[in-house]
Structures are given as structure tokens and as C-alpha cells.
Amino acid sequence: MKKISIFAMTLVAVATNAAMAGFQSDTMQKTNPMGGFVGGTENIVTVNQVKEMRDDVPVIVKGHIIQRMGDEKYLFEDSTGSVTVEIDDKDWRGQTITPSDTVKLFGEVDSGWFNTEIDVDYVEKCN
């Protein structure tokens, strides 16, 4: 009887794991440390659009970092204007960027009372 109980519990555990093996929630896919394909096309927005967005909206902008403005603060520019961005040291990911380099900045809108900035999560140098 003891062997049958252990066999039944093992069978239930195996069946449950097999049923869950093909399922990954959106959260699991986005935080996969191994990398890989996550979603469709990138929705790149302009600096002018960023200035109209609400706080904490995720954004991707493409343009040039043209000037250092202070500790972790930089001036970013695209064809529609410029905005201050905050880039932590780790977010450069070992890349060297010059004002002539085109970059994509992935981050969130940081909208305050008097100005709007982008809090950058990471920088990607474009080819």
C-alpha cells in the first residue's frame, strides 16, 4: 500500500510538471536572464512625444547624447528636440559613446512639475 501511495504522488507530480513545462507567463519571458526574442517591433518615440507623456511610461528614443550635464545627467537630442536623461554608470554596459554615435535609450519618463526627463535603463549603440 505504501508503494502505491508513493507511486501515485510521483505520478501526480510528474503530470503537473509536464503540464506546466510549455507555459511561460509574460513576466517570465521578459525577465529571462538568458536573453532571446521577447516581442514584436520596437515603438521608438520622439523627444517631443516624451514631453507629453505621463510619469513612468516606458519609452525608447533614438538619437544622440550630445553633452554631459553633471553627475549621471546628459543632454539627449533627436530631430524633434532635446531632453535631459539620467544614465547610471552600469547602464552604459561597457560601451563608449561619443556625440557622433547614434544610440537607442531604453527607459521611463520621469515627469516632474517643471521638466520632463528620461530615466534610462540601458543604452544601445546603433550600427
Whether the CB-CB separation of 108 and 54 falls below 8 Å is answered with no
Tell me, yes or no, whether 79 lies in a domain.
yes
Question: pLDDT value at position 33?
Answer: 58
Give the chain's mean pLDDT: 81
Q: What one-letter code names the amino acid at 73?
A: K
Tell me, yes or no, whether 22 lies in a domain.
no
Question: pLDDT value at position 127?
Answer: 76
Question: pLDDT value at position 37?
Answer: 67
Tell me, yes or no, whether 104 lies in a domain.
yes
Count the domains in the chain. 1
Parent domain of 99: 44-125
Report residue 62 as a C-alpha cell: 533614438
Instruction: Please choose, from the candidates 105, 55, 52, 58, the residue with its C-alpha nearest in 3D space to the C-alpha of residue 77.
Output: 105
Domain of residue 103, CATH code = 2.40.50.200
Tell me, yes or no, whether 24 lies in a domain.
no
Question: pLDDT value at position 4?
Answer: 58
Question: How crowded is residue 105: how many other Cβ atoms within 10 Å of its Cβ?
Answer: 24
